Amino acid sequence: MRKQNGFTLIELIVVIVILGLLAATALPRFSNLTNDARRASVQGMLGGVRSAAALAKSSWLVGGSSGTSVLMDGVTVTVSAASATAGYPTNAVAGISAAMQSIDGFTADYTGTPITFTPTGYTPVSGGCRVEYNLGVASAITDGC
């Protein structure tokens, strides 16, 4: 009787089938990580927008609650003069984007109200996956991420 060296073809096929079944059950779980990461980055941007707006308002209050601009870390930020939103950064590059000082990874659209920040290089599904800002009020829409 001969001694067997290595695996038979049947054993190798069974191992490949088992690995294929494991991959098929695990792959859907890992493919959703991209969407989760995009949602998390939108939530992070929301925190940044809210913080920048609050810091600008605080600087405006400390500066005497007057004027249409504040200085934040050497950057001039344009703020609203309207009574209900006074002191909050405007919906412009010189407003909220200047207060944030960096919007890396996001594209800002200043054409509408509210202005929107969407992840760069991503086309949102059904208009979702963005941060909206309008004179001190910020919100995240993560439906289309």
**Pairs from 106-114 (Cβ < 8 Å, separation ≥ 24):** 106/45, 106/131
What's the pLDDT score for residue 144?
81
pLDDT-derived band at 20, boundaries 50, 70, 90 = confident
Per residue in 103-144, pLDDT (tens digit) is: 999 999 999 889 999 999 887 777 788 999 999 999 999 888
Per residue in 36-92, pLDDT (tens digit) is: 888 999 999 999 999 999 999 999 999 888 889 999 989 999 999 888 888 999 999
Domain range summary for the chain, segments of one domain joined by +: 34-141
* Percent of the chain whose pLDDT exceeds 70: 96
**Pairs from 118-123 (Cβ < 8 Å, separation ≥ 24):** 119/38, 119/41, 119/42, 122/38
What's the pLDDT score for residue 25?
83
* DSSP secondary structure, 13-31, as one string: HHHHHHHHHHHHHHHHHHH
What's the pLDDT score for residue 1?
60
What's the pLDDT score for residue 2?
67
Higher-confidence residue: 8 or 96?
Answer: 96
Contacts of 96 (CB under 8 A, 6+ apart): 49, 52, 53, 89, 90, 115, 133
Count of helix runs (H) and strand runs (E) in the chain: 3, 6
> In the predicted model, is pLDDT for residue 3 greater than 90?
no
